[in-house]
Amino acid sequence: MEIRILTQKEEMLQQLEIIQQLYPDYSMEKYGTLLDDMLKVNYQQIIVTENNQTIALTGVWTGTKLWSGKYIEIDSFVVHEAFRGRKIGDILIAEVHKIAKEVCANQIVLDAFTTNFAAGKFYINHGFEPKGFHFVKTLNH
């Protein structure tokens, strides 16, 4: 297995297939447009590959908020369906921790849907705690 940090849009676009495991309706165009905005604010991806196939991916970015100081945010954490149960998620979490240490982040944060019990269990097993509510108001433009 190989671990790589992606910082360029062209590299990230090559990850569409695994992104579609989370977001099946994403086209190359939609994914690329989102990346254009995200790359402006320190977005990068961590990938794990095996035999030149991406088997796990997470996005991360660095931010700062008044309540937390500097933090790393995990975004769209996915392990390829065919490779789950092999502790590959542990590899991604370890890489996120490395980045957090490098940038002197106070916290690692993430959002997980309340209906995704497997994700909740995974994050709790890795020392994450639910600390509050993430409220969403959908706006139709």
- List, for residues 70-114, the tens digit of each pLDDT value: 999 999 999 999 999 999 999 999 999 999 999 999 999 999 888
Alpha helices (runs of H) in the chain, residue ranges in sequence order: 9-13, 16-22, 28-39, 88-102, 117-125
CATH of the domain at 19: 3.40.630.30
Query: 102 in a domain, yes or no?
Result: yes
| Domain annotation covers residue 101 | yes
Look at residue 141 and tell me whether its pLDDT is greater than 80: no
**Residue 131 located in a structural domain:** no
Look at the chain and report how many structural domains it folds into: 1
Residues 8, 14, 20, 24, Cα dihedral to 10°: 100
Q: Tell me the whole-structure pTM to 2 decimals.
A: 0.92
Average pLDDT over every residue of 20-34: 97
- Residue 107 lies inside a defined structural domain of this protein: yes
Q: Please check whether residue 133 lies inside any domain of the structure.
A: no
Q: Residue 80 belongs to what domain range?
A: 2-125
Q: Is residue 31 part of a domain?
A: yes
